[in-house]
Amino acid sequence: MKIPPVEPGTVGPCPVAPDALQGIKRQQTNPARWNGAGWQDFVAELRASGVELAEGAAACGVYATDAGGTAYGQPHGVVLARSAGQVSLLLKAAQAHRVPVTVRGGGLTTEGESVAFGGVLLDMSGMSRVLGVDAAALTVRTEAGIYWHALAEELRRENLDYLSAPLNLTSSVGGTLGVGGIDVNSARLGCSADQAISLQVVTPTGEIVECSDSENAELFQRVIFGYGQFGVITEATLRVRPYTPLAMHYYYYSSLRTAIEDLQMLDRNDASDYSGILTIMDCAVNLLVAFDSDEREAAFRKNWESRLRGHGEFGFALCMAGHYALRPWKLGEALYLLQRKQAVFPEFRRPEYMRDGKMHDRTVVFSRAVWKHWGSRQMVIPDLATSADKFIEAVERGNAICRQYFTHYTLYCVGIKLRPEHKPHYEMSCVPPDAEGWAYGCEFEPMIEGGIYSRDHFQAFKNAIYDVGLDLGASYYRFGGMMKGYIRRVFGDALVDRHLAMKRRADPALILNRDVIF
Amino acid sequence: MRSVDVVIVGASLAAAAAAKRTVDAGLETIVIERKELPRHKICSGILSPRGHRFLLENFGPLPRETLHEPTSCRGVTFHFPSMVSMPMDFFHGTTPHLHRKYSDHWAIQRSGAEVHDKTSFAGLEDKGDHVLVHARQNGEPVEYRARQVIGADGPSSLVVRAVYPDYTKQIPWFFVGQKFHEIIDCPLSPEYFHFWFHPGLGHYTWSHARDGRQIVGVGFKRGDNFAKKHAVVQQYLQDKHGVHLQPAGDDDEGCAENFGPSLINRYVFGKGNVLVTGQAAGFLNMIGEGMSCALHSGAISGEAIVEARLRNRPVQEMYRRMIASEVRRCSDQWNPLKIAFDRPHEADFPAALMELSWRDRAKVLRDMWRFVVLFKEFKWGRQIASAALQRPLLGGYSMQRWL
């Protein structure tokens, strides 16, 4: 049978009927394995130019899946990144032989974006050195394959800290700059990608280019939040700040809506340095507020604390005791809450990280807690990113979907301060087009707790969450990979086709991360 | 002897879905198929929207060659002896009318698996750490050594017989057959799949348009006479619905069906390193649509093999825990409590019922009950009630009943 080829990035014809699968684009979102045409010639050229490439099951099997654990793929070969020059040679050869290249940082994607369905997998973790710290100018130059926690460790020696990074020890700098990155201080400092001052990028055709808002600005705009479509980030200069320990405060709510309203109130008034919501259940919501300085903390206590409607730990425990005393049939739920409280709360107060009542090394504390008490073998975290005014509805609808699919789950909500001068960066990204001032993101994470579910079960859950985004005209913090079908639906064909045209100009053979967005 | 990771028996949609998962994960996979590909397969070809989305997302847009004319189906129309008709559109729009000969071949090709057609499965031996698969290729015996075997060879599965020789005697068997007629006059809408809840016509009676002809299909307990049953239905359509058809062509076809396991939660998922999936496992949605659950269960069988290797767990354990979601989806469609209080199907039966007058609603419910009584001889009532109650109490269906 002759199967008509579908040009990558394009939406194929549908002979079924125009109204079949209403609204769903005719895109294969779970990619076909690349057929390996010309692989041997490519390998020969690569080896002749001195680029080391590992082949075979042992080398490739390590990269079979990503943190999401629902997409599986095997590259034909793996290159461990060593230098921009080596990456350049790789991309030039790949472009000439039309071999797909998938770039992987920490592998923390959840929809298979860093899984190679054939071709070469470029593992950036080989480029993980800090190249220079300028304590006076408060900047750092680093190779992009470094993990944020390793960068934090280096910066601590200079009594410095990064501005914001994902609460995850093994996410890489390059990967984060390519997608956005959020932290509990994003409502004040913006998303992680906004802290990049300049980048060294290897373009899909192999040129090594330095870019920033003033130099090669168009490339800079496309690479930041670019989901790896317009180049491989090999080095980055980032803003940093003096290191400070955190004074943490926790407020507890039984209503998601009230907690979100209070979170947004704090963000609007710049009342805290860190803020975020983490739920145990939708009736046990924790609003986390933290400060870098005693002055900011004192101002908060004086002006804003009394306006929060949440309880302290003891007060909330009393409320919950009353709640469950009247509902004895919910004993299981009460026991779960108690067990989670006993397991999770001490993690945030571990004595080795607390001094004078303040938390040190928040990266480690949060990341450790996240992996230990929320993470599992599979990170199934669909999310929604909306403007401030749509956020409550998005969270409430997403919460209702979580209830349908899983017994226990957690929600993680933060605000993201937007920088008006970065608007060009934000086009077709996790920042919703209608957001002004702040965008808000919510991750919906089921507690898998050793359970084994089919991929279809997870996918149905994720699709239900993503459909809410479509309905509300939102965006997604993570988009791409297997959920790329939603990109055209949420942003519209015109915008996606414009970016596809830019992609074709930058990457004529469409080799770089080609299964991620288009 | 060829040594591979996975051997899949059958070149069906379930096989393609399973192969897609194992090939993607880098497992060397061979599909063996008795016939030469592309091969003919009896089927209504009406795929549910959920199955269509699976095909699209995993294999890409369907080529025109994989579709019959009309290329799509808008929904299902139920007809009752009281002459009430209930058209119901599928959620999310029309759905494909697959030409199984080409759609299955296309999907298998797109899966990336190596295909050995004209290779008949002849038996297997599970050796604990591998399985020996015996087959015949062009009349010559061939052997494969595989870490796991997936049986995706349809209702009369030879793999199931190899693993559970007595299974076929434990379930009732039906025959479904269809004849193709040139049309003189047919008032039945060609946009819909038509189904009759009529105990006098048989256990499964349907009709729809295909490639300029009208299909008249009948299903009944094995042992009855196809020609007689078909003649009764054709006469009924003419008398009651004004359907005038030419005598059937000589390309009529039929096959045995294992209708029932999904109704009473009596699936067969294999043993040891042998997994059974698709309709071979007993998956069949209501109104006989088996393709969407075959695709999803097939994919899950492939995922289970991948996961079992990564977690170093027994493959049966992984498969049975992962397949629970598909069992819920499929058995929910037959669950009277789900039908009454939820929307387990891909078309809205309760809404269509509410559009009828009170009098017609009463007629429909009476006719449906009379139709259900037709199945009384199989003594499924207690098992259906038990499965229906398990659903709210356990959140699913008991794994204890699965083979």
pLDDT at position B261? 86
Looking at this predicted complex, what is its ipTM? 0.86
Strands (E) in B186-224, as ranges, are 192-196, 204-210, 213-221
Is residue B272 pLDDT above 80, yes or no? yes
A407–chain B nearest CA distance, Å: 10
Q: What is the largest CA-CA distance in chain B?
A: 67
CA distance A2 to chain B (A): 9
Q: Can you tell me the distance from the alpha carbon of B178 to that of B210, in angstroms, rounded to the nearest whole number?
A: 12
CB contact under 8 A, B25 and A73: yes
pLDDT of A5 higher than 80: no
- Chain B residues with CB under 8 Å of A2 CB are 65
Q: What pLDDT is recorded for position A254?
A: 92
Residues 470-509 of chain A whose Cβ lies under 8 A from any Cβ of chain B = 482, 485
Q: How far is B269 from chain A (nearest CA, A)?
A: 15
- What's the pLDDT tens digit per position in A14-68? 899 989 998 888 888 998 889 899 999 999 999 999 999 999 888 998 899 999 9
In 3D space, the residue among A27, A122, A129 whose CA is nearest the CA of residue A80 turns out to be A122
Query: Which residues share a beta bridge with A289?
Result: A249, A275
Residue numbers of A between 303 and 322 with CB closer than 8 Å to B? none
A129 contacts chain B (CB < 8 A): no
| Angle, CA of A110, A112 and A118, to the nearest 5° | 160
Tally A–B CB contacts below 8 A. Answer: 131
Chain B residues within 8 A of A65 when measuring between CB atoms = 310
**Chain B residues lying within 8 Å of A6, measured CB to CB:** 60-61
CATH of A39-125+492-506, one of 3.40.50.280, 3.30.43.10, 3.90.1170.20, 3.40.190.10: 3.30.43.10
Query: Architecture of A130-242 per CATH?
Result: 2-Layer Sandwich (3.30)
Decide if B304 contacts B318 (C-beta within 8 A): yes
Chain B CB contacts of A3 below 8 Å = 63, 106, 109-110
Interface test with A, best of B23, B37, B56, B67 (most A CBs within 10 A): B56
- Supply the range of the domain harboring residue B20: 1-403
Give the contacts of A16 (CB within 8 A, at least 6 positions apart): B52, B62, B67, B71, B72, B94, B95, B96
- Report residue A166's pLDDT band, with 50, 70 and 90 as the boundaries: confident
- Please judge whether A16 and B58 are an interchain contact, meaning their C-beta atoms are less than 8 angstroms apart: no
Summarize pLDDT for B37-96 with one digit per residue, the tens. Answer: 899 888 888 999 999 999 999 999 999 999 999 999 999 999 999 999 999 999 988 999
The length of chain B in residues reads: 403
Q: pLDDT tens digits, residue range A352-374?
A: 999 999 999 888 888 888 888 88
Its pTM stands at 0.90
- CATH number of the domain at B387, please: 3.50.50.60
A184 CA: distance to closest CA in chain B (Å): 34
Question: Which pairs count as long-range contacts for A286-289, CB under 8 Å and 24+ apart, including other chains?
Answer: A286/A250, A286/A251, A286/A252, A286/A253, A287/A250, A287/A251, A287/A252, A287/A253, A287/A259, A287/A262, A287/A263, A288/A184, A288/A248, A288/A249, A288/A250, A289/A248, A289/A249, A289/A250, A289/A251
Q: Indicate whether B311 pLDDT > 80.
A: yes
In angstroms, the separation between the Cα of residue B21 and the nearest Cα of chain A is: 8
Q: What is the mean pLDDT of residues B135-145?
A: 92
User: Who among B23, B59, B96 is closest to A16 (CB)?
Assistant: B96
For A247-483, give the CATH class: alpha beta
Count of the separate structural domains present in chain B: 1
Residue A425 has pLDDT above 90, yes or no: no
Dihedrals phi, psi of A253, to nearest 5 degrees:
-130, 150
